[in-house]
Amino acid sequence: MIRVDRVALRGLKARGHHGVFPREREEGQTFIVDLVLGLDTRPAAADDDLAKTVHYGIVAEEVVAVVQGEPVNLIETLAERIAQVCLKHDGVQQVEVCVHKPDAPITVPFDDVTVTIIRSRV
């Protein structure tokens, strides 16, 4: 059985220009990202060494850069790009990405739209 600990980042906010409608691409909107990174934190804890775990500050900056970067039509695509960035970090074996689009162009009252994906190295 593979042991996976979790490091979570919740509520990362960034403005992006994602969506299928011209207004979304032109005006942009706020996206919120929640991450759960799966990794073995025992080596870092044993030595109290940041180099032996994931630096979540750097991950946060990279995720925000993806949201602010090249526009895509679907938040599914955005979530996939975010997952791939997270999995490039040594030690990160799995990632759960939830992308929130609270200002989605929906004609009825709603609180939020989310897409959640789970990706792993295997």
For this structure, is 101 an active site residue? yes
Where does residue 28 rank: exposed (0-12), middle (13-18), buried (19+ CB within 10 A)? middle
For residue 59, how many C-alpha atoms fall within 13 Å in the half-sphere facing its CB? Answer: 27
Residues 6 or more apart from 14 whose CB is under 8 A from it? 30, 31, 33, 63, 64, 67, 68
Question: For helices 56-68 and 75-87, what crossing angle results, to 10°?
Answer: 150
Distance CA 117, CA 102 (A): 18
Catalytic residue among 13, 52, 88, 101: 101
Catalytic site positions: 101
